[in-house]
Amino acid sequence: METRRLGRLGHQSSVLIYGAAALAEVTQEVADQSIQEALDAGINHFDTAASYGEAELRLGPWMPRIRDQIFLATKTGEREREAAWVSINNSLERLQTDRLDLIQLHAVGDLDELDKATGSGGALEAAIRARDEGMVSAIGITGHGHDAPATHREALKRFPFETVLTPLNYALGRDDDYRAAWDDLAAETQRVDAGLMIIKTISRRNWTEEDHRYTTWYEPFDEQEKVSAALAWVLKHPQVTGIATAGEVSLLRLLVEAERDRGNWTDARMAEVLDGVVAYASPFVAMPI
């Protein structure tokens, strides 16, 4: 699997980042199979969060074996310093490790959330403390929603975050305002040498029926051709250091195959497939609370 340099951190991260939201509600047996599948595919960057159900607990038993082989990232969604400090320490305990490669301020998708997280007494102060005490090596920021790129661009003005995890897919890229904000963010990450990671690569739209087929809160592509086109389109952007895999264990194999095959995709072929998708839209029209 291709690796790309994760900004000034220097880590050569696999372009597929294991999105451990997929482990939120699965058994340890299912988690073990999925984690092994990721490792066998060459994935060396694992991304989880305190709010991802049982995900940290499912990854924990693997750490004694693989901790030195992977880049390990988690997130805190807390906004106040003390609560975030407790969250970071709990994550270390659940993950059965004494160090994280990256702690991320989670779900910061608008300026109000950014103000809370980066203001006096905010979660950023806990992340800095964790870094200064050797518990984490770097600090990043993540977020969903149409305002995420602009918010993350502002975040880089306030603090030298080493990484940004922000949304991009073909549907979002067709929105001129969104694309302009994303391009501005991407240029800034290049200027400050921050890692730029992507979420929602294979999102198709919000769910339109009650019987959801997958554990993702949005409806994902689940046909190989569309997954391959969507992944190839995002990874053609040289600023992107990697994409987080979808929060559903059964979709991992499609993404792995898409990464292997993406050299066969021309711009014209990507556009032909993705322009032909019916009801292809932003997943942020209706987000879960």
pLDDT tens per residue across span 95-130: 999 999 999 999 999 999 999 999 999 999 999 999
pLDDT tens per residue across span 267-284: 999 999 999 999 999 999
Over residues 156-171, mean pLDDT: 98
Q: Answer yes or no: is 144 within a domain.
A: yes
Q: Are strands 12-14 and 16-19 parallel, antiparallel or unpaired?
A: unpaired
Mean of all residue pLDDT scores within the chain:
97
Distance CA 125, CA 84 (A): 9
Q: Answer yes or no: is 286 within a domain.
A: no
Q: Are strands 242-244 and 195-199 parallel, antiparallel or unpaired?
A: parallel
Over residues 144-149, mean pLDDT: 97
pLDDT of residue 288: 74
Q: Answer yes or no: is 230 within a domain.
A: yes
Q: Answer yes or no: is 186 within a domain.
A: yes
Q: Answer yes or no: is 86 within a domain.
A: yes
Distance CA 185, CA 178 (A): 11
Report the candidate in 174, 153, 145, 152 with the shortest Cα–Cα distance to residue 287: 145
Q: How confident is the model at residue 175 (pLDDT cuts 50, 70, 90)?
A: very high
Distance CA 60, CA 92 (A): 9
Q: Answer yes or no: is 73 within a domain.
A: yes
Q: How confident is the model at residue 1 (pLDDT cuts 50, 70, 90)?
A: very high
pLDDT of residue 51: 97
Q: Answer yes or no: is 283 within a domain.
A: no
pLDDT tens per residue across span 22-55: 999 999 999 999 999 999 999 999 999 999 999 9
Tokens of 5: 């340099």
Strand extents, DSSP E, 56-178: 71-76, 102-105, 139-142, 163-167
pLDDT of residue 287: 81
Q: How confident is the model at residue 69 (pLDDT cuts 50, 70, 90)?
A: very high
pLDDT tens per residue across span 195-248: 999 999 999 999 998 778 999 999 999 999 999 999 999 999 999 999 999 999
For residues 88 and 103, the answer to whether their CB atoms sit within 8 Å is yes
Question: What's the structural domain count of the chain?
Answer: 1
Domain that holds residue 75: 3-275
Q: Answer yes or no: is 214 within a domain.
A: yes
pLDDT at 162 over 70: yes
pLDDT of residue 289: 63
pLDDT of residue 149: 98
Report the candidate in 141, 140, 127, 137 with the shortest Cα–Cα distance to residue 81: 127
Over residues 64-81, mean pLDDT: 98
Q: Cα torsion at 249, 255, 256, 258 (round to 10°)? A: 160
pLDDT of residue 286: 84
Q: Counting beta carbons within 10 angstroms of the beta carbon of residue 65, is it exposed (0 to 12), middle (13 to 18) or buried (19 or more)?
A: exposed
- The per-residue b/e assignment along 123-143, b for 16 or more CB within 10 angstroms, e otherwise, is bbbbbeebbeeebbbbbbbbb
CATH number for the domain that contains residue 174: 3.20.20.100
Helix pair angle (148-158, 111-118), 10° resolution:
30
Q: Give every CB contact of residue 246 below 8 A, 6+ residues apart in sequence.
A: 19, 22, 201, 202, 214, 216, 220, 252, 255
